[in-house]
Amino acid sequence: MLSKSGLFKQKNKAYRLNVSDYDTLVPYYFSKHKINVRYLVNGTTFIGRRMMAENYLQVQAEINEYENEQLAYARQIIHHWSPPNACMPGKYRLNRKNNRHSDFERHYQELYEAINDEYLNNDGQLKELSEEKQLRLNAIVKRLKCRKKLDEYRQKEIEELYERRNSVCLTKSQAIDEVKSIQKSLSDDEVVVYFFTNNRCKGTAHFETLLIKRDHIVKPVHWFLHESNMFESTDFDKIFITDLSPFVTYTLSKKDVEGAFDEDPMKRLQPQVDSDSCGALGVLYLKELLKNNSEQLREFSFIASLYSDKNDFGSIDQGRSYKSLLFFPSPHVLRYSQSRLYNSILLAMLQSTNDEEMIEYKHVQYKVKTLHGILKQSIASVIEKDDAEAVRIKDLWSRLPDFRIKWMDLYYKMEQKRQKMQDGSVIPPYLTDIKNRGLSSY
């Protein structure tokens, strides 16, 4: 971790938020900007604390299994055995062939021959074992040379289990349950900020932020197609996210088509570029949206049910419309975006009065549907409806010209500040805040 003095010696050094930082940084920003909104870190509600206690006991039960000398080897084999014709992922897998996860190859044959006749089926898979058979299996393995390797695995796994037990929090599915219970408790105009810490009550991980209202949720920062991303559009009945993928397609240059392209170009449609800033971006976006009586959220952002002809599989389906719940962010939050492409696409979506615009970035041409074109298609999709959704779409269409003017005026002012942070001529204010608050990683 960086020292306080080292922080400013490295250009744009990212900060990886620690769970405990929420107890310091969020109250600081809320007090500084007079933000009068309740916030919760996952696992702090009644239902959340109950689920955390259950998780703790579950991990403790796993520890007890591995510390029971009469059954420890049997439990290892039950959890990690791989048939001879399979090579399974996992750090402690008992695979016949080594891979980047496992190095059990030279011990496999001895273990296989010792347990094959009695404990494996015709496919080499482990049979269902009674406790009596597990005790006998454990006794057999105790006499084998591979026991030393199993002991090595077991010791490491026990250490990891203790670490997991001591930092256990809520899984994604449990956090979804907690969020839904929070929604039910809210009044119509009440807002709650929710921080998800990825099943950790301390330390660092991939963190996400939600703005919860009774009838909908806003996720200000989204990681499209990224393996770290947690909350998706399908996890809640009505969650608005900055997922630009329904409105963007791309083509590669001939050179890149013939060569090996190192990433899906659609993965670039997110504000985070480094590997550490997910938690910090969530707090910064939140701070900007809620300060000044939520001015950026009310006046310079919007949520809308919009329609496009791009289906859930990313293909264009002419003649059909698919609904997306979009959160369009304010210029103030884009000041902290690490991606020039991401900002450029959002700017093109709003700035142009054409139906589509083209943006070229690193030998990739992105075709961007503009809000002008998206709203025209959306109005056509709801033309015969007279419900609240149709009214909101038509209202957004009527307000678009004025919204465009004020949004772009502020965007260019914020872009100048962003550029100074990007080129290192100005220290990002949030890094100064982090240093001054003496957060855990410094």
Taking the C-alpha atoms of residue 423 and residue 146, their distance in angstroms, rounded to an integer, is 56
pLDDT given for residue 387 in this prediction: 78
pLDDT given for residue 389 in this prediction: 85
**Is residue 340 situated within a structural domain?**
yes
Q: Are 83 and 191 part of one and the same domain?
A: no
Q: Are 207 and 278 in contact (CB under 8 A)?
A: yes
Question: CA neighbours within 13 Å on the CB side: how many for 24?
Answer: 15
Sign of the torsion angle spanned by Cα atoms 60, 61, 67, 73:
negative
Q: Are 100 and 87 in contact (CB under 8 A)?
A: no
Element (H or E) spanning 208, and its range?
strand 208-212
Query: Domain of 80?
Result: 53-167
The 10 Å Cβ neighbour count of residue 13 is: 14
Taking the C-alpha atoms of residue 57 and residue 344, their distance in angstroms, rounded to an integer, is 48
**Is residue 2 situated within a structural domain?**
no
pLDDT given for residue 349 in this prediction: 96
Taking the C-alpha atoms of residue 303 and residue 282, their distance in angstroms, rounded to an integer, is 18
Taking the C-alpha atoms of residue 371 and residue 300, their distance in angstroms, rounded to an integer, is 15
Residue after which a domain boundary falls, among 124, 144, 167? 167
> Which residues does 343 contact at the CB level (< 8 Å), separation at least 6?
271, 334, 337, 415, 418
Q: Are 159 and 176 part of one and the same domain?
A: no
Residue after which a domain boundary falls, among 116, 135, 167? 167
For 330, which DSSP code? P
Q: Are 308 and 393 in contact (CB under 8 A)?
A: no
**Is residue 163 situated within a structural domain?**
yes
Q: Are 176 and 278 part of one and the same domain?
A: yes
The 10 Å Cβ neighbour count of residue 163 is: 12
Residue after which a domain boundary falls, among 152, 167, 182? 167
308 SS3 class? strand
Q: Are 211 and 114 part of one and the same domain?
A: no
206 SS3 class? coil
Give the total residue count for the chain.
442
pLDDT given for residue 381 in this prediction: 86
The 10 Å Cβ neighbour count of residue 127 is: 11
Q: Are 132 and 39 part of one and the same domain?
A: no
pLDDT given for residue 50 in this prediction: 98
243 φψ region: left (φ > 0), alpha (ψ -120 to 50), beta (else): beta
pLDDT given for residue 320 in this prediction: 60
Q: Are 242 and 248 in contact (CB under 8 A)?
A: no
**Is residue 10 situated within a structural domain?**
no
Taking the C-alpha atoms of residue 12 and residue 441, their distance in angstroms, rounded to an integer, is 16
Question: Token digits for 233?
Answer: 């559009």
Q: Are 272 and 338 in contact (CB under 8 A)?
A: yes
User: Could you report the average pLDDT of every consecutive run of 10 residues in the chain (442 residues)?
Assistant: 36 77 94 96 98 98 96 97 92 90 92 97 96 97 97 97 96 97 96 97 94 97 79 93 92 63 79 87 94 96 88 52 90 92 95 94 91 93 80 94 96 87 64 55 34
Q: How far, CA to CA in Å, does 414 sit from each of 78, 288, 424?
A: 57, 12, 16
pLDDT given for residue 276 in this prediction: 85
**Number of domain units in the chain:** 2
Q: Are 27 and 102 part of one and the same domain?
A: no
Element (H or E) spanning 176, and its range?
helix 172-185
Taking the C-alpha atoms of residue 439 and residue 22, their distance in angstroms, rounded to an integer, is 9
